[in-house]
Structure 1
Amino acid sequence: MKKQWWKESVVYQIYPRSFKDSNGDGIGDIQGIISKLDYLKDLGIDVIWLSPVYKSPNDDNGYDISDYRDIMDEFGTMADWEELLAEIHKRGMKLMMDLVVNHTSDEHPWFIESRKSKDNPYRDYYIWRPGKEGKEPNNWESCFSGSAWEYDETTGEYYLHLFSKKQPDLNWENPKVRQEVYDMMKFWLDKGIDGFRMDVINFISKVPGLPDAPNPEGKKYVSGSRFFMNGPRIHEFLQEMNREVLSKYDVMTVGEMPGVTVEEAKLYTGEDRNEVNMVFQFEHVDLDSGPNGKWDLRPLKLRDLKESFTKWQKGLEGVGWNSLYLNNHDQPRMVSRFGNDQEYRVESAKMLATFLHMLQGTPYIYQGEEIGMTNVRFDSIDDYKDIETLNMYREKVMENDEDPQKVMEAIYAKGRDNARTPFQWDDSENAGFTTGTPWMKVNPNYKEINAKKAVEDPNSIYHYYRKLIQLRKQYPIVVYGSYDIILPEHEQIYAYTRTHKNEKLLVILNFSADQPIFELPKEITFTTKELLISNYDVNGEEAIEIFTLKPYEARVYLLK
């Protein structure tokens, strides 16, 4: 397996709107990020992934871009951004930017031209179709609910938007569009950035003809994902992007790819395929979704989680590379979802961090995860900002008379705003995020959970993360060791080994508030053992052949 800097890195995702406000307007900004770079350096971070900071009308919090080569006024200026890059590099860290090229904003100059007339030179930059029998061109549903098509009066045709109607999809079949994207990528790479996280990049190739999706239940709109996820030309497009742009720079790339399978991921990430370094897959964050999707809550079974992670760990072993995450700007807080954010918040946050950082792949920390920030429960739908959440609430409650409290419970569990409440820096007003009125309410638990308190407490989640990151830098086995699960059937314990040369890591995790007994399988033998990290005080001399685990306990041993 090739050694690569991006395999050995730990990435920290910043959602700029919610990270740190420097000027009191209630919105996080670039100068705010600069003021906190030492905090990230002290944590041990190698790469900062910055969610979009480009010019945008902000229909979908910056994922609707109106100018790819400029900075959103609320976040600062290009000079601020250049200062940020210089300050990150000065501290020996790297910067990865978001690449959002499945769609633009409807306020992008290309789309403004495209909608003017059918023979406009920019018409073919987007996907336009005439209606069918007075209806949309097909029955696809937008990822944000409702039709994926919007009728435009000017030319009497519909344009495709897989997300908000203010996010028209680019037409990647048009070579001019691809060239525009490659030129824009070079613009940022020549400024010195170190990589791209590629937003829904496996949506850029659609099945020709854009056929209707199967609709046995006769719904108005249905998911057409099989016709736009991992489409027929996707590998050709990514290889072209690599050839034209990425191969000329030493950068890291991660493709966000909903619906990707292990077999497809081998093609995307194969070291000899020249596409992307790794993918974000979603299988493990869909395990607590029922048959009706994300908002249909069902309890998570540990065995399902083990099966999913094991499949990806073994599937990409020696072929490609995994990205490791349990939360991000689109997912609820991991301690609330996979752990216990009440009685065992600290223990379960440390256990989940151990789980993730000891797997094979590149770990991604989402802002606030390292201090154990939790989901939020706002009383009113009016306190929520996310377009996906608001559209869903309107559809279920206003249009279909569903029980508002039941819908709110789904939002409390799965809403994207759980990740977007302002970062909790200290216990002062608004958690030290802003001196003004925050763009979104702060989670009321900030007095208890904040970075100042975490940094000052040697036993905090924050310091536990620092130690995990140090272990990664100290022991090649943490990065390059191969993974094998043990006790796959156990309902409460997730245990696995990592093997590299003549060493073995033994990782033991209790995913419950119970106290199960761990028994070491006979085939795992060793002459010496060393306890590398644990989230409870443990006597390193204690025998490990059989012992009782405390609630949400985690231990990692190095065996030789």
Structure 2
Amino acid sequence: MNNLHHENGQFGKEPWWKDATFYQVYPASFKDSNGDGWGDIPGLISKIDYLHELGVDVVWLSPVFESPQADMGYDVSNYQEIYAPYGTVNDVDALVEACHNRGMKLILDLVVNHTSIEHGWFKESRSSKDNPKRDWYIWKPARYDAQGQRIPPTNWRGYFAGPTWTWDEHTQEYYLHLYAPEQPDLNWESEACREAIYDNTMRFWLERGVDGFRIDTVNKYSKRTEYVDAPITDPNSAHQPAPEMWCNGPRIHEFIHEMRNKALAPYGAVSVGELSNTPHPSQVLPYVSAAAQELDMVFEFSMIRLGTGGMFGPKYAYVPYTLQTMKAIVAKWQTFIEGTDGWTTVFCENHDNGRAVSRFGDDSTPELWRASAKTLALWQITMTGSLFLYQGQEIGMKNMPATWGIDEYKDVESISFYNEAAASGEPKKIAQTMEGLRILARDHSRIPFQWDDSPNAGFTDEGVKTWMRVHDAYKDINATKQVKDPNSILSFYKRALRLRKTYKDLFVFGSFRLLEAEDEAIFAYVKEVPREVLDSQLQTNGNIYQKRPPKKRMAVVILNFSSSKRDCLDVRSVLGCGGEDEAKLLVGTRYNEIHGNVEGSILRNGAVAPSLEPWEGRVYVNF
């Protein structure tokens, strides 16, 4: 079944964002224009042509609003001002113009589950119990234990370790914060609060030409308002994981539908929500169904969370996983929208996880690093849905070196989990946590972008102290070196992204069918487009296949996710080629350099595809 059923249901008339390539910029680490060691918006503007030449359609800018930076801008103190080291509101206007002049779009990161304690709304709310904004946040009285000691309203554990409640001495109540104490949760039950959110945080920027938002923690706005204790699942802690108390709450769909109708739809703004702790398709589909009119798409995290020990206490107790497990998760989320009016996203990196090539690929040697990064690229560009890349992914940036100590980790979550382990006094727990951080920590994705081989990797001027340490490998892994190399990871991404656009009927919109589900080395699948959809494309875009296609247009993607040589599949059989039918190699990650043939080679009757080299990937189509 195909996925072409949004609104008008006609291929070629789908919303623009479906076949767009989004690129996330983490502004503190992208490009520093003024030599203060902190990336900024003018620096991003200076590199906008780099993104355009890569093939980016939409820039997603992580938070740049005024903030005390307790959580790298995810604690906003003023939604209508820019944190000074990043620039000004006028700089955002200039960025919008720079994107639009190149046919690109810009979306901002919207953080409205919580604010900073320094936000004016919270200052008013905590000033007195009868302040008009008191109910804009969630306040509760203390409880008392059998010994008469004051304890929080519930036993919930937060995302950064510790309780979700902080005592306010002035008004003698606790306020709720799912994250750091500096990030109090807004109370979406208050209609006045919701209206202020729509006007202050969304319409303000949409009026200035921003094209939409990535919406942080989007399914946490509606809490379960009985505020009861969570079951005790960790008897060694006073604070218990309780995502069921604040994720996908009773009014969540009402709130998001209202947000769309009042703030997003009038501007034609695109929306992509961060949807955590929602592992079942039946839970996710209501958020992305076109008929429901809520979000255009969401990030579901089952795949990218592989290896984590859970979101709370054991998060950084690394849990090895199998390729079979990974493939099953990918298949689940590639197929859940088939036969529906929903849409999905494709991503394997973001600002909250370790680098993909270090987690899902192989960075142990330069050869395997390069090969696996290209294979991961081929995997991503052939997936159904809107594609999201993260800065540095296109040049194969790796995790921080394992030799770096905890003092190089800056993220509030990393430090909180490490300190919790250290406080336990258990050497095994400390070592286990550090091992997990070396693989999974959010810090890995936040080190400065490696532009060239000059001091500080071209991120900032020589001699400047950068806010995070530059990777030791920047002289070998950098964008300038790869721009000049036709066989580089960057060059491959450029080519692959063009192919994704050319064959969007297969790769963006095609159905997904997993092959060899139990194989622990080969990740293979079929992408397929029914004839009627192809006919619609041919009428719109012309015949990209050069001759009348067979009944169904198909591609088989074959990826060797191992460091050993493997036999290739029987490509012609998978594609249903019989007699004189041909299978064509559309793209390969290592084919030319190893096999000495140009891409476009044909597999005719009786021909067998060569074996796959370590971390080699190929795509064949039926012709």
Q: TM-score interval w.r.t. the shorter chain?
A: over 0.9
1:163 aligns with 2:179: yes
Runs of 5+ in structure 2 lacking a partner? 7-13, 145-149, 532-551
1:9 aligns with 2:20: yes
1:508 aligns with 2:558: yes
Higher Rg of the two aligned structures:
2
Counterpart among 571, 575, 584 of residue 524 in structure 1: 575
Counterpart among 25, 34, 45 of residue 56 in structure 2: 45
Q: CA deviation at 1:232?
A: 0.9
Partner of 1:459: 487
| Separation (CA, whole Å) in 1 of partners of 2:298 and 2:308 | 21
Counterpart residue type for residue 77 of structure 2? S
Partner of 1:408: 434
| DSSP-derived class of the 1:466 partner | helix
Q: Is the 8 A contact 1:8 1:473 kept in 2?
A: yes
Partner of 2:161: 145
Partner of 2:257: 239
1:434 aligns with 2:460: yes
Pick which of 401-410 and 221-230 moved more.
Answer: 401-410
Q: CA deviation at 1:477?
A: 2.0
5 Å-filtered alignment, 1:134-533, equals: 134-184=150-200, 185-218=202-235, 219-260=237-278, 261-290=280-309, 293-319=314-340, 320-343=342-365, 344-377=368-401, 379-403=404-428, 404-435=430-461, 436-475=464-503, 476-500=505-529, 501=531, 502-520=552-570, 522=573, 524-526=575-577, 527-533=581-587
Q: CA deviation at 1:419?
A: 0.3
Which whole-Å deviations, capped at 9, do the CAs of 1:61-112 have from their partners, x for residues lacking one? 0000000111110101111111111111111110011110000000000001
Q: Is the 8 A contact 2:575 2:583 kept in 1?
A: no
Runs of 5+ in structure 1 lacking a partner? none
Counterpart residue type for residue 263 of structure 1? S
The CA RMSD measured in Å over matched residues stands at 1.4
Q: CA deviation at 1:208?
A: 1.6
In the TM superposition, structure 1's runs of 4+ consecutive aligned residues that sit over 6 Å from their partners are: none
| Separation (CA, whole Å) in 2 of partners of 1:107 and 1:313 | 41
Counterpart residue type for residue 556 of structure 2? L
5 Å-filtered alignment, 1:124-143, equals: 124-133=135-144, 134-143=150-159
1:555 aligns with 2:605: no
Q: Is the 8 A contact 1:498 1:504 kept in 2?
A: yes
Q: Is the 8 A contact 1:515 1:548 kept in 2?
A: yes
Which whole-Å deviations, capped at 9, do the CAs of 1:334-364 have from their partners, x for residues lacking one? 0000000122011000101111110101111
| Separation (CA, whole Å) in 2 of partners of 1:410 and 1:478 | 34
| DSSP-derived class of the 1:245 partner | helix
Which whole-Å deviations, capped at 9, do the CAs of 1:349-385 have from their partners, x for residues lacking one? 0101111110101111100000000000353222211
Q: CA deviation at 1:124?
A: 0.4
Counterpart residue type for residue 529 of structure 1? A
| Separation (CA, whole Å) in 2 of partners of 1:162 and 1:137 | 13
Q: CA deviation at 1:293?
A: 3.8
| Separation (CA, whole Å) in 1 of partners of 2:575 and 2:94 | 52
| DSSP-derived class of the 1:412 partner | helix
| Separation (CA, whole Å) in 2 of partners of 1:270 and 1:313 | 15
Structure 1 residues 433 and 173, CA, compared in 2 at 3 Å: closer, same or farther? Answer: same
Structure 1 vs Structure 2: percent identity of aligned residues?
Answer: 44
| Separation (CA, whole Å) in 2 of partners of 1:510 and 1:523 | 17
| DSSP-derived class of the 1:470 partner | helix
Pick which of 80-89 and 314-323 moved more.
Answer: 314-323
Instruction: Give the TM-score normalised by structure 1.
Output: 0.98
Which whole-Å deviations, capped at 9, do the CAs of 1:282-341 have from their partners, x for residues lacking one? 101222123664201121210111110111111112421111111110010000000001
Pick which of 329-338 and 318-327 moved more.
Answer: 318-327
Pick which of 331-340 and 540-549 moved more.
Answer: 540-549
Counterpart residue type for residue 495 of structure 2? K
Q: Is the 8 A contact 1:287 1:304 kept in 2?
A: no
Partner of 2:539: none
| DSSP-derived class of the 2:273 partner | strand
Q: Is the 8 A contact 2:19 2:501 kept in 1?
A: yes
| Separation (CA, whole Å) in 1 of partners of 2:339 and 2:522 | 27
Pick which of 528-537 and 59-68 moved more.
Answer: 528-537
Q: CA deviation at 1:233?
A: 0.7
| Separation (CA, whole Å) in 2 of partners of 1:452 and 1:222 | 48
Q: Is the 8 A contact 2:318 2:432 kept in 1?
A: no
| Separation (CA, whole Å) in 2 of partners of 1:40 and 1:286 | 27
Partner of 1:95: 106
Q: CA deviation at 1:487?
A: 1.2
| Paired residues, number | 560
Q: Is the 8 A contact 1:118 1:155 kept in 2?
A: yes
| DSSP-derived class of the 2:474 partner | helix
Q: Is the 8 A contact 1:515 1:549 kept in 2?
A: yes
| Separation (CA, whole Å) in 1 of partners of 2:397 and 2:245 | 37
Pick which of 394-403 and 351-360 moved more.
Answer: 394-403
| DSSP-derived class of the 2:291 partner | coil
Counterpart residue type for residue 76 of structure 1? G
Q: Is the 8 A contact 2:187 2:193 kept in 1?
A: yes
| DSSP-derived class of the 1:168 partner | coil
| DSSP-derived class of the 1:97 partner | strand
| DSSP-derived class of the 2:528 partner | strand
Q: CA deviation at 1:22?
A: 0.3
Q: CA deviation at 1:529?
A: 2.0
1:60 aligns with 2:50: no
Q: Is the 8 A contact 1:397 1:407 kept in 2?
A: no
Partner of 1:112: 123
Instruction: Give the TM-score normalised by structure 2.
Output: 0.88
| Separation (CA, whole Å) in 2 of partners of 1:524 and 1:28 | 48
